[in-house]
């Protein structure tokens, strides 16, 4: 199958500004892109692409005072299959974990594992198996938190989500990540596109989505505590320890968001329109 993806973002800035973006599809999926407009930037004097320490494709954008617009449209080929489920995937003891997974066992900006450790072990310590333990964490977070856009807060941490029992997709991911790390299971944050493919359409405006990956068995697997079911058409943009590592936009100076539109949909019959949309 093919998926049309894209975004249109406009921000107002009162001064020259530098912006770090996490808006490009991950390197491993670049070969699947069928057609893409590239980044279209207005009121910008310079852009520079780079790879960050997590292997994500990033950009440094230097903009002028006024309204800065960033947009992209593309079509990507996708297998069209749901997230894999490997229910018998074992937990990997810490001494046997690949060294590159070890940073994802530690506390981070939004995942304060030290305050959740006792609760996590009381709740999940008796569960045997890596996949079973991570799925139990997803089941718990899915039932514990209420999803609410009006209650979104950019500074909410995993502990605050647990105490307030409310959040958006990034909060579901942060709490699940923190609980996995409490149980010595590496977990990392993912941001990207997730359209309503194979599920009833959500009437709310499309947004970038957040989920997480846990290392069980011998590889990373996608888990989603908000939806708590295998989904079709995940397109990763970036991964990090938590959302602080991969903000969609990080501006070095004040800005006001004027427009934010995300597009993700299945392309019927392998036909698509890009630039006209």
pTM: 0.94
- Helix runs in the chain, H state only: 117-124, 130-144, 158-164, 169-182
pLDDT given for residue 120 in this prediction: 98
DSSP label of 126: T
Residues of the chain falling short of pLDDT 70: 269-277
pLDDT given for residue 274 in this prediction: 40
Q: Tell me, what CATH number does 140's domain have?
A: 3.10.620.30
pLDDT given for residue 270 in this prediction: 53
Number of domains the chain is built from: 2
Residue 74 lies in a domain: yes
Co-location of 102 and 238 in the same domain: yes
Co-location of 204 and 258 in the same domain: no
Co-location of 99 and 232 in the same domain: yes
Residue 153 lies in a domain: yes
pLDDT given for residue 277 in this prediction: 36
Angle between helix 130-144 and helix 169-182 axes, rounded to 10 deg? 140
Per-residue b/e over 254-266, b at no fewer than 16 CB within 10 Å? ebeeeebebbbbb
pLDDT given for residue 172 in this prediction: 98
pLDDT given for residue 205 in this prediction: 86
Torsion of the alpha carbons at 207, 208, 209 and 214, rounded to the nearest 10: 180
Nearest in space to 55 (alpha carbons), one of 217, 246, 249: 246
pLDDT given for residue 239 in this prediction: 98
Residue 88 lies in a domain: no
What length is written for the chain? 277
């Amino acid at each position: 199958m093919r998926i049309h993806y894209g975004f249109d973002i406009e921000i107002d800035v009162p001064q020259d500004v530098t912006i770090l973006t996490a808006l490009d599809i991950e390197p491993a999926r670049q070969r699947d892109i069928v057609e893409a407009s590239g980044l279209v930037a207005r009121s910008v004097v310079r852009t520079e692409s780079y790879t960050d320490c997590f292997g994500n494709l990033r950009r440094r954008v230097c903009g002028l005072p006024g309204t800065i617009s960033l947009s992209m449209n593309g079509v990507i080929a996708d297998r069209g299959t749901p997230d894999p489920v490997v229910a018998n995937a074992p937990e990997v003891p810490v001494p046997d974990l690949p060294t590159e997974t070890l940073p994802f066992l530690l506390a981070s900006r939004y995942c304060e594992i030290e305050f959740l450790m006792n609760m996590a072990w009381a709740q999940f310590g008796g569960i045997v198996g890596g996949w079973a333990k991570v799925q139990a964490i997803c089941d718990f977070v899915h039932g514990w938190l209420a999803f609410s856009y009006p209650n979104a807060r950019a500074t909410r941490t995993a502990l605050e989500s647990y105490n307030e029992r409310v959040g958006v997709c990034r909060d579901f991911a942060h709490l699940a990540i923190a609980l996995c790390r409490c149980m010595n299971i590496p977990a990392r944050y993912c941001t990207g596109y997730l359209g309503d493919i194979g599920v009833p359409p959500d009437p709310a405006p499309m947004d970038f989505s957040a989920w997480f990956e846990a290392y069980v068995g011998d590889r990373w697997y996608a888990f989603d505590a908000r939806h708590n079911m295998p989904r079709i058409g995940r397109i990763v943009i970036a991964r990090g320890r938590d959302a602080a590592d991969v903000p969609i936009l990080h501006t070095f100076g004040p800005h006001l968001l004027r427009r934010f539109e995300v597009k993700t949909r299945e392309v019927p019959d392998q036909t698509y329109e890009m630039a006209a949309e």
